[in-house]
Amino acid sequence: MASMATSVPVAMPNRHPVQLEIVYPESLSRWKIFLKWLFIIPNIIVLTFVGFAFGVISFFAWWAVLFTGRYPRSLFDFAESYFRWLANLYAYSWLLVDPYPPFSGAADRYPPVTFNIDYPERMNQILVLVKWLTIIPAIFVFMFVLFAATIVQFVAWWAILITGRIPRGMFDFLEGTLRWYLRIMAYYYLTTDAYPPFRLRA
């Protein structure tokens, strides 16, 4: 389940260490939109058990960061793969892709979705104590974005049913919402010190 984090050879200005990209589909299945909520249940069940392990890992990682300023690489790889699996499931259930997500968070297993977190060589040992507090403003604003995303999903469902396509603007909004959510999660669960920016774009 663990995966190696993708390295970035050239630093890009304003590039956030948590990256999500979803390939825009030229067409989507009209009949799958009726059953995706059902198809995804087995995957959710398995991921729930993986989530318990992720919780344990996050506990040990918290202490490791506090005392050493480093997130152990093996634990980080597991956390990254957990978030990648989560990203795959959300992309599928939010009607952004049609291929069924694998029962894995390994890299390169699900071509429509690319998710990576840059491994931090050093982490702020003080910040680990207050991340739960500093993330509150981002969560507060994100709740409004998530509400809007729910409406967009409803409209997108009908657009797919009628046309077999999701309008590009709706796709970009939902992709950006998911990206923002994963950046909040990655920050809160210590895999990055980079605060989630108040934006939907990459």
C-alpha closest to that of 180 among 200, 162, 164, 161: 200
Are 112 and 94 a contacting pair, CB within 8 Å?
Answer: no
How many whole angstroms separate alpha carbon 68 and alpha carbon 90? Answer: 34
pLDDT digits (tens, 9 = 90+) for 91-126: 999 999 999 999 999 999 999 999 999 999 999 999
How many whole angstroms separate alpha carbon 105 and alpha carbon 82? Answer: 6
Mean pLDDT for all residues in the chain:
93
Which pLDDT value is given to residue 8?
40
- Give how far Cα 145 sits from Cα of 33, 77, 176, 177, 191, Å: 23, 29, 10, 7, 23
Percent of the chain with pLDDT over 70: 94
Chain position carrying tokens 């344990």: 56
Q: Which long-range contacts (CB under 8 A, 24 or more apart) does 155-158 make?
A: 156/95, 157/33, 157/95
How many whole angstroms separate alpha carbon 153 and alpha carbon 172? Answer: 12
With b for 16 or more beta-carbon neighbours within 10 A and e for fewer, the 32-59 pattern comes to ebeebeeebeebeeebeebeeebeebbe
How many whole angstroms separate alpha carbon 117 and alpha carbon 136? Answer: 22
pLDDT digits (tens, 9 = 90+) for 171-180: 999 999 999 9
pLDDT digits (tens, 9 = 90+) for 69-79: 999 999 999 99
Find the distance separating the first CA and the last CA of the chain, reported in whole Å: 26
Which pLDDT value is given to residue 2?
40
Evaluate if residue 161 carries a pLDDT over 80. Answer: yes
Are 69 and 83 a contacting pair, CB within 8 Å?
Answer: no
Evaluate if residue 7 carries a pLDDT over 50. Answer: no
pLDDT digits (tens, 9 = 90+) for 17-31: 999 999 999 999 999
Which pLDDT value is given to residue 12?
54
